[in-house]
Each structure stands twice: as structure tokens, then as C-alpha cells.
Chains A and B, each alone.
Chain A
């Protein structure tokens, strides 16, 4: 399978616990994006990487959220001290950096987080 892979597919946790999600992009893609989507809403941008460099973070991304992409391959998104408001689908997307206009994002299946 050459698509974007996310793990786990589902995560249930208790409020206050830390969680970590993993994303493996399409192999030749050098850009990786994290989005969050709640029911009835479109995906909201969180952050993105070009290779291992984190180039932009949304104002939505509180200090409890941290993302890494060591070696420019897979990425992890960690949420510390989870809150019920963190419950959402966390989507990863990757792209091959070309002219900005033409860059297309391809999404993984997402990780559904439920905070009890």
C-alpha cells in the first residue's frame, strides 16, 4: 500500500492522559501535514513539515500539542494532558513539494480520538 498510513485508527483515553499518534507519508512525499476534524466541520490545519523542519503551526495548536518528524520520514503528534475538547479525528496528509499552486494533499485514514 503506497498511501498515507496512520496509527492507531482509534484511541480512547481518559482525561489527563497523554496520547501519541503516528503518520507514515507516501514514500516520496517531502511535506507532511496534520489536521483535526470534528463532526460536521471541515479539517482544521494544525501544523506542517517540510522534510524534518516544522515550518508552520496554527494558533489552534496549544502548548499541549507537539509534533515531530525526525529524519523527515514518519511523524508523530503528541497531546499531553488530554481534555474532552481534544476529541476529534486527527488527519495526516502528505504531498510532494512542487510549485505551491499545484501542490496536492493526500490524506490518511485518520486517528479517531475519544477523551472520556
Chain B
């Protein structure tokens, strides 16, 4: 079992729709969760962090965390073609500083 799992996609949504990206992790006591956006040929860019159960909103982005289910998600409202990218889920496990990344979900927003 991979430590951090994501559906590779592509996830295709029409412009203006809500994109929902999901991630599961294996370390039950992980503390910190991050979403990075990566455009093709570019480096990962941090877009959201979440540490507690529930929702955290930042503009069009909402991160959701459910530690009991070991599940973290990212919602992107009013999706734009410029949101088309790979979204990486990253988890910090207990006693570690380094982040463990999933393989990413490719999002395509259709104009």
C-alpha cells in the first residue's frame, strides 16, 4: 500500500464547475496535509495546508480533512482553464519533517 494515494486522472470538468480531488494516506497519526499545484514542466507550488479535521477555505479552494477515514480532499470552485494542472497531495507523518507525496491527479478544465 502506498503511503499517499491519489487517482492519477485525468479529471475533466467544464469551466465554472466544482473540481473535487481526493487523497488517502496510510499513516493513521499523520499531522499535516498539503496540496500543491504543478503545471507541466514546472515545480510544485503550495496552495493549501490543513491540520485539523473539517474544512478550510481560501478563495476558490477548500481543503477537507477526515482523520478517522484517513482522507483529505481539495475542492476547486468555479474552475478555470488556468486551473488545469497536476494536483499533488502531501502528508507529513508522525515524527518526520519531510513530506510524502502522492503521484498527483491531473485536472483538465474544459473551456
Contacts and interface: CB of A to CB of B under 8 A. Distances in A.
Contacts of B32: 100-103
A77 to B, nearest CB: 15
Contacts of A40: 8, 103-104
B17 interface: no
A55 B97 CA distance: 10
B32 to A, nearest CB: 5
Interface residues of A, number: 26
A41 B100 CA distance: 12
Interface in A82-116: 89, 91, 100-110
B99 A45 contact: yes
Interface residues of B, number: 25
Contact of A100 (B31, B45, B101): B31
A106 B98 contact: no
Nearest to B89: A42
Given A40-B8, A101-B32, A101-B92, A107 B45 contact: yes
Contact of B51 (A31, A45, A102): A102
B1 interface: no
Contacts of A45: 98-100
Contacts of A56: 96-98
